[in-house]
A and B are shown apart, each in its own frame.
Chain A
């Protein structure tokens, strides 16, 4: 018995060796940087020399900085339109593909094609649309002119009223397939008995959707909303590249409407080298994301235990 126990212990000791490489790398490259950013946020660090402690000064500066709030407003605005379009479309598709009456075929192919835009690097997507949406020579304006939908070229990326919406729509275009796949997997995970029972009870399509599909999808909806928020409030590549002139992209032209929080952070962290201030921006954004996530849990999570 004692021998068996000892062998068991040796065995479990092997597990330490299995997880050790992960733990070491995780501590160095994931955990340490997060705390290092926190530490730097309380200092006047400029990218060289010794960091000097300044207490909460950076945070006070963030809170008072109207450009920080503007960049947050821009980011939230772009995320909101994106999430509405993205989830709305994904939802409609889920309803269509899970409909018992229509039995739409080709799910695998449609799903793959809808997911395609998500595979491409945001840098390539930015360049593609930047060129397609060019004011004078872009293909989109040429098509619109030729079809008579507009009488003169639209300066999609050059005017404040359209640029942010263009970015949102491109984001939605990139992500709706992803949301659709997740929602669809959720629907396929619902046992068929539920739908059959509802059919026997004579429940209509919308009734089934409202009282079976939607409630059972709620945790998945929550997952999509939270992950999209974490990703969406860190928006960087697309607005950074879609309108930027090299070297000055963080300005978020036109008129700063495309400047997101992470672009603002990048500007101070890596361009003007006010690293302490940039770190405070990172943590402020983190707390904002945390706050909205908690709100999402409250609204979408319901009374689940």
Chain B
């Protein structure tokens, strides 16, 4: 009996904690449907009727769909590049013997531990020299080299791909690159998917680098665009519109999460698995 009561208390606490994770988002959705006056006067847990008005106020100031579109234009190719080139690099490192393989592995491990702020200024300086300021190229191309993902996929190939299978393919006359495209990619798919979703969310949410690189308002990605709401005094008067703007930026990620939460959670656990 005592166990049962304790167990109930535990469930109540766990659910309370879960509510604390959801409540701010719920309030966000509720407030994005209420007028500025309603919001300043009282709170509510139920939606109001001013969604359309807030929408008009918000989009008068900023076209969030452009930001959404820009974010897709950056995050999607970056993620695809990360997926393909991390996989092929991991494959080359795990299944072949070549000079410098170990050295590359060591350098990758070191760079996994180096904080991003260390390269920030040098990176900006490089982009200046290459005339890549205000371009999407420095937001996309560097995704080809993601040390952490190569590290993970290298372990993954080693664990899942057998040399016998590759030998069999070779006897059938397949070239090495052919083996990679036809056989290895399929076998690696779950690992690649796990890493890609993590990479996509990282790209999608990235703020500091797009902030320093992009100058033209039209080119801004969603997080940078959201941050410009700070300057909008008209919007500050109408909190409903601010909530709506934040809600629009949050919804795509929540949709991705609903479909891929399993992959996302295994990508987090994967990070801590030791060799």
Contacts and interface: CB of A to CB of B under 8 A. Distances in A.
Interface of A: 11-19, 21-23, 25-26, 28-40, 89, 93, 96, 101-102, 104, 110-117, 119-124, 127-129, 131-132, 134, 136-137, 139, 142-143, 146, 173, 177-178, 181-182, 184-186, 219-220, 223-224, 226-227, 230, 233-234, 236-237, 241, 244-247, 249, 262, 265-266, 269-270, 275, 278-279, 282-283, 285-286, 289, 293
Interface in B84-125: 85-86, 88-89, 91-93, 95-98, 101, 104, 107, 111, 113-125
A220 B272 contact: yes
Nearest to A121: B205
B162 interface: no
22 contacts: A12-B96, A18-B96, A23-B104, A25-B85, A29-B141, A29-B145, A33-B125, A36-B122, A36-B123, A102-B7, A104-B10, A104-B11, A114-B17, A115-B265, A120-B205, A121-B205, A124-B226, A127-B246, A128-B28, A234-B117, A246-B228, A247-B231
A279 B226 contact: no
Given A22-B89, A93-B17, A128-B25, 19 more contacts: A17-B92, A22-B144, A30-B111, A33-B119, A33-B122, A34-B119, A39-B122, A104-B14, A112-B257, A112-B265, A113-B21, A123-B227, A127-B242, A134-B239, A143-B43, A146-B42, A185-B268, A227-B271, A246-B228
B54 interface: no
A174 to B, nearest CB: 10
Contacts of B239: 131, 134, 137
B159 to A, nearest CB: 14
B182 to A, nearest CB: 15
Given A16-B98, A36-B126, A25 B14 contact: no
Nearest to B84: A21
Those 5 A-B pairs whose CB atoms lie nearest each other, nearest first: A18-B92, A36-B122, A33-B122, A15-B96, A185-B269
Nearest to A286: B118
A137 B39 contact: yes
A139 B48 CA distance: 15
A294 B3 CA distance: 43
A28 B141 CA distance: 10
Nearest to B7: A102
B58 interface: no
Contacts of B222: 121
**A interface SS class:** helix
A233 B17 CA distance: 27
Nearest to B27: A139
A117 B96 CA distance: 41
Contacts of B14: 93, 96, 104, 110
B212 interface: yes
Contacts of B147: 26, 30
Nearest to B208: A236
B98 A30 contact: no
B216 interface: no
**B interface SS class:** helix
Nearest to A289: B115
B11 to A, nearest CB: 7
Interface of B: 3, 6-7, 10-11, 14, 17-18, 20-22, 24-25, 27-28, 31, 39-40, 42-43, 85-86, 88-89, 91-93, 95-98, 101, 104, 107, 111, 113-126, 138, 141-142, 144-145, 147, 150, 175-177, 180, 201, 204-205, 207-208, 212, 222-224, 226-231, 239, 242-243, 245-246, 249-250, 253-254, 257, 261, 264-265, 268-269, 271-274
A37 B272 contact: no
A113 B22 contact: yes
B113 A22 contact: no
Nearest to B270: A185
A154 to B, nearest CB: 15
B123 A29 contact: yes
A230 B110 CA distance: 13
A238 B113 CA distance: 22
A231 to B, nearest CB: 8
Contacts of A219: 274
A125 to B, nearest CB: 8
A262 B242 contact: no
Nearest to A146: B43
B223 A124 contact: yes
Contacts of B231: 246-247
A209 to B, nearest CB: 16
Given A22-B144, A25-B142, A30 B119 contact: yes
A34 B119 CA distance: 4
B18 A114 contact: yes
Contacts of B117: 234, 262, 265, 282, 285-286
B39 A110 contact: no
